[in-house]
Structure formats: structure tokens, C-alpha cells
Amino acid sequence: MDLLATARSLLEQAPLCDACLGRPLADRSHGLSNAERGRALRVAVALDDDVPFEPFASGCWVCEDVCADFDDWAARVVEAFEGYAYETYQVGTRVPPLLEANGELLREAAGLPADAGEPLNREVNREVGKRVGAATGAEVDLERPDVLAILDLEADLVEPQVNSAFVYGRYRKLERGLPQTEWPCRECGGTGRRDGEPCQHCDGAGYLYADSVESLVAPPIREAMGGTDATFHGAGREDVDARMLGTGRPFVVEVTHPTDRFPDLGALEPAANAHADGRVEVEDLRLATHDMVERVKTLPARKTYRAAVAFEAPVDEAAFAAAVDALDGATIEQDTPVRVSHRRADLTRTRTAYAVEGTLDAPTEATLEVCGEGGLYIKELVDGDGGRTRPSLADLLDVPATVTALDVVAVEAEDGAFDDPAFIRSAP
């Protein structure tokens, strides 16, 4: 390519600002901005033609002087995020079709390919972004920034977007009859009314339970972060009538539109526990990344349960020990339990009971501790669910058995750890 000849062809399309002159040749002389490249080309043409140098003033027909307003756009972005705490940002630009067409016409007139150089939106993103970073000290993040500003050039607007913030921790549920998340009434769809009357199934509340782990834990976190809403994500969930004890269950609270994504976690943990009023306890609260939500929800986990078991007839101690030994390390086949068949597909699942121990406390009472693969249904491992779980304690003993109380005492990742440092975020 004859660079000077190309520059002359571009300059024939005057008035043309330095940035629009340099942009079609953005793949030449790396390390220069388009404006620096364009000014250098303008000077080189003037020197080669031995004519007076005429700097560009205003009125560029290609960008309509957008490239002269980078400082102003950056200041508007910084202003749009005043009052928000953030470490990372990104700038995006919505370019009017007319300006895109102008760039295509400029390249065509100079005999350049339609994709020569770089598009206008990329330059605006970079140049405005550099100025935002210099003004705030924040870092560019092209994947998932704390804040994102969309520059709408045609509407002359900055559209700010504040992405969610995340807090990771573990919770213990200390009472039974408390669901993990809100439980809308199936009969009225959560409206509290049916056929124009208060729903009889939920007494008009719209929910089957007044409180949940979510309602006890999420509000203090949302308040500390100044967010508009909060969503609770758990690493699985225990039955409503089961407690979550021991090391607790991993969870993430996602706070939308936070003004402070770096709260004082040392103060937040006791505040959350005070709000839960002894019904739920949280610990090990830490800031987390967006990817922690997916990790908590999908990472395979092994769980340890302690179950109080009642038998309908006396059980011999030797027979009980033999049944426990048969379950210890066994591969369990479970058809979808009847009690959850209304919300789970009817499948046969194979799970491993890694370790099973038991104590016969009385001829008709026992305590069973099971460490099992994630997804192993413990109640059905005991009662057999009418033959839908194979083997089961009840079938091995040939005595009907029921779980009368169930506690989860540990939830641990099968491989690695939920709180892998790669998914934990440090405060600035």
C-alpha cells in the first residue's frame, strides 16, 4: 500500500478529523491513537506535497465531531457512577447507522476494504475507557465488570448498568419447618387468592411458610450493600423438616444494583445472625465473583446426614448391624421419590452411599449416619419408598422403617472446595 497516496485519497474527503483519517489505517504503526496517526499522516502529506500544513479544526463529516468529545463522554460516565463503589468497568458504544455508513463511504472512496482499520465504536470504547480509568483508578474488565456504561451517540445519552455483587458463606439452619427459599403456594400461584377469594391452602398469604433461610439471611446483606434486591443461591437444599447443622451449607447471596459492593464483612456477619434471631446462623462470609453462583449450584457435593429412625416392630441388633453393613459403600438405585414426583422428572438415579454407620438405640429406634453422593435421598434409603429405592434399610430388615428426624451435618465438594480462591474476591 502506498501510504501517502491512501492518505491523500482520504484527505480529499474533507472535512476529516485526525481520528477519522487515522482510523482506516489503524493496523499501521501500533502504539499510536487514531488521532495521532491521522495527524502524522496529515503532516506527512503536507511535507511531501510541499504545501502549508492545515490542522483540522471542526466539522468532521464522518464522525460528526464525536471524536472531539471523548473527554466530555468520559466525564459523563464518571458522573453516571457517582455514589457507586466499583473496581472494574467497561464502556460500550451504540453508533448511529448514519455514522457507520459514513465510515464505509470514506473507505470506499479511498479504495480501502470495508473492514479496513477499526470501526468507530471500538475507538470510542477505547478512548473514552482510557479516560474513565485515569479519572477513577478502576480497571477495564471485558468479561463481567462491576459497572458498564453504554454510550448512545444518537440519543446523546450515557446508559449506566451496575452489575450484581456476591457474598459467599455457609449457613446452619437450626429449626425445622423452615424452607431454604420462599415457597409460593401452588394452589394460588403465590397470589394469596383463588377464584376471587382468599386462598384456603395458604390462608391468603401466598406462601406456604412465613419465613425462609433466604428471608432471614439475604436482607441484611442487601442492606449492607445498598442493593435493590437480593437472591439466595444454595449448594442444594435440605428438606423443610430437616435441620442444617455441623459445617453448614455453602450459599451465595446475589445483590442487584449495589452501591457498596465492599461492605465490612466483620460487621455484616453478626448483623445477619442478629436478624436471623437464632433460627439460622451464617459464617465465613466473603466477597465472591459471579462464577461462584454457578459453582455453588452445580459443583458435585457429598453430604453427611444423621437420621433418627423408628421401626414398626422390634429389630434384632445383629440384623440391624448386618443391614447397615450392606448399605455401607453400596450403590443405590432410586426412582424419583413419590413425595417429590410432582416437581421432579420420573427417573431412576444411581447414587453411592460412601459410608453408613448406625446405632440401635432401642428395639424400635435407631440413629443412622450416612455420607452419600449428592442427590442420594436419605428418607427413601431408610423406608424404601415402596420399593422405589433399592436396597433400603427397611427392605434389608424386612421391617417398615421411617425417618422421624433428619439433620444434615456436612456438605463438602466432591473435588476441590466451594471456596476456591479463584472464586473469592478481595476488597480494595
Instruction: List active site positions.
Output: 239
- The answer to whether the beta carbons of residues 399 and 313 sit under 8 Å apart is yes
- The 3-state secondary structure of 259-312, one letter per residue: CCCCCCHHHHHHHHHHHHCCCEEEEEEEEECCHHHHHHHHCCEEEEEEEEEEEC
**Cell numbers for 41:** 499522516
Question: DSSP assignment of 77-88, as one string?
Answer: HHHHTTT---SE
Picking from 29, 32, 10, the residue whose alpha carbon sits closest to that of residue 20 is: 10
CA distance 268 to 224: 7
What phi and psi values does residue 55 have, to the nearest 5 degrees?
-65, 150
Instruction: Reply yes or no: is the peptide bond before residue 391 cis, omega within 30 of 0.
Output: yes
Look at residue 188 and give its three-state secondary structure.
Answer: coil
Could you identify the residue written with the cell 471485558?
A: 142
What residue spans of 110-244 are helical by DSSP H? 120-136, 213-225
User: What stretches of 153-240 adopt beta strand conformation (E)?
Assistant: 157-162, 165-173, 193-194, 197-198, 229-234
What phi and psi values does residue 376 have, to the nearest 5 degrees?
-75, 125
Instruction: Reply yes or no: is the peptide bond before residue 113 cis, omega within 30 of 0.
Output: no
